[in-house]
Amino acid sequence: MSDRIENQESGPLSRRNFIQNTSILTGGALLGALSIERGAHGAGSDELKIALIGCGGRGSGAAGQALSTKGPIKLIAMADAYKDRLEGSLANLKNQAKDRVDVPEENKFIGFDAYKKAIALADVVILATPPGFRPIHFEEAVRQGKHIFMEKPVAVDAVGVRRVIAAAAEAKKKDLKIGVGLQRHHQAGYIETIKRLQDGAIGDIVSMRAYWNDGGVWVKPRQPGQTEMDYQMRNWYYFNWLCGDHINEQHIHNLDVINWVKNGYPVKAHGMGGRQVRTGIEYGEIFDHHAVEFEYADGSRLYSQCRHIRGCWSSVSEHVVGTKGSADVGGNRITGPTPFRFKADQPKDPYQQEHDDLFEAIRNNLPYNEAERGAKSTMTSIMGRMATYSGQVIEWDAAMASKIDLAPKSYAWDALPQSLPDDKGAYKIAIPGSTVTV
Ligand SMILES: NC(=O)c1ccc[n+]([C@@H]2O[C@H](COP(=O)([O-])OP(=O)(O)OC[C@H]3O[C@@H](n4cnc5c(N)ncnc54)[C@H](O)[C@@H]3O)[C@@H](O)[C@H]2O)c1
């Protein structure tokens, strides 16, 4: 595919990116079946059947990683809004793992309802559409009693976050295993560094900063005759009902790391942001920069920035300062009375590790549910957007209780999203001071 890839997070799948994402398939030996607790994923066979919902860059990568976990496993169903996306992903996956991919024509599902049919056929489902659909797809997968890997963020508004938290509780009751694609939680350098910080290596943590400053993602030009729904679906990154703005889509990773370090979630936020460079109508309704100050319950502050402007300084990072030292969390380095630097001879790919951990839990019936944590970190980034769009101080409880629902009334190619272009093709952009977000 010719889509521009700015970084690991962005854009549909290029062949190079796909091979990176799934290289473990060719190198990773499948070590044979682990013993399976009967009932952990359905009785009868040790082979886990996988369905992929959302066959883009990350979904294809995640499917490749799932297929590289230990034990018999097969991709048997796929669902996507678009046939071209599904077929491209299937061809790539077959190239990488022919013997673990068996998706007959009747198990390929296209359109807005496709997810239900694919979920029904599987033991484990991978949910990797744009995040606007995550609450709907997650609820359905839980309702059908499936184990789930879902990508972050898990929602785009508080209504969606609450749905995910409710479904996560239901999943716990059903003993379903749920992984969320905040892969830093499965990355040894982060785990070892944060363990030490939580054990007091730098004293009380009083100040934090988190950045996702980078260049941004693709645009797919409007096609003649294209419906508005089709246009927004193809350009999902630029519409809040699908994406939640890049503060939600990408910066969630860094905000989540700080939540992890603090072992909690911010109680309030204020900030500023806007569109300074990426101002054209092709960039939909999202901002190109946000700067947010989050406050935690102990009064400590997180200074957060995210920018999508090309040609500027780039940094995707998290740092913290404590009463006795400081840490570059993403760099896995602590400076203070007990300095630490994480070193690994052969660092393991966290995208692979998160699947290894989930599938181990599924096969051995171990407790595993990352959904609530993923939902609350999603709420953190949504709260940041609420702060920059409104220009107001946003309190966690008010944000969480917000009734603003960004979803369209119905899902169909001729249905209308809430945000529509004016006669010049421009979308309404949030105006701090007058936009209401809670
Ligand atoms: N954890 C990470 O580091 C990481 C990295 C990249 C992407 N992601 C996440 O993965 C998700 C997907 O991102 P991507 O880069 O793969 O995007 P993408 O555009 O490449 O893929 C999304 C796919 O979902 C399909 N889709 C859209 N709506 C659908 C629906 N209702 N039903 C079925 N299919 C639908 C699209 O057609 C497309 O094929 C996002 O939430 C993103 O944040 C996470």
Is residue 257 a contact partner of residue 318, using CB atoms and an 8 Å limit?
A: yes
| pLDDT for position 30 | 29
Question: What residues does ligand 1 touch, defined as CB less than 6 Å away?
Answer: 8-9, 12, 53-59, 79-82, 85, 112, 114-115, 128-131, 133, 151-152, 181, 183, 233, 249
State the pLDDT confidence band at 45, using cuts at 50, 70 and 90. Answer: confident
**Residue range(s) of every CATH 3.30.360.10 domain in the chain:** 188-346+377-401
**Per-residue model confidence (pLDDT) at position 399:** 98
Q: Please state which CATH class domain 188-346+377-401 belongs to.
A: alpha beta
In this prediction the pTM is: 0.92
Residue range 188-245, pLDDT digits in tens: 999 999 999 999 999 999 999 999 999 999 999 999 999 999 999 999 999 999 999 9
Ligand 1 centroid – CA 416 distance (Å):
21
Token pair of 223 as six digits = 């096609």
Give me ligand 1 centre to Cα 197, in Å.
33
Q: Where exactly does CATH 3.40.50.720 map onto the chain?
A: 15-184+351-369
Q: What is the pLDDT of residue 438?
A: 95
What residues form DSSP beta bridges with 47? none
Of 234, 253, 245, 309, the residue nearest 271 (C-alpha): 245
Mutate to test the pocket of ligand 1, among 125, 129, 236 (most ligand atoms within 8 A of CB): 129
- Band the pLDDT of 401: cuts 50, 70, 90: very high
Does position 43 have pLDDT exceeding 60, yes or no? no
Dump pLDDT digits (tens) for 74-130.
999 999 999 999 999 999 999 999 999 999 999 999 999 999 999 999 999 999 999
Task: Among 2, 151, 185, 231, name the best residue to mutate to test ligand 1's pocket (greatest count of ligand atoms within 8 A of Cβ).
Answer: 151
Strand ranges inside 116-169, DSSP E: 124-127, 147-150
- pLDDT score of 347: 87
- Ligand 1 atom 4: residue of nearest CA: 9
Please report the pLDDT score of residue 18 as a whole number: 34
CATH architecture of the domain with residue range 15-184+351-369:
3-Layer(aba) Sandwich (3.40)
Query: What does the alpha-carbon distance between residue 397 and residue 184 come to, in Å, rounded to a whole number?
Result: 27
How many Å apart are CA 172 and CA 169, to the nearest integer?
5
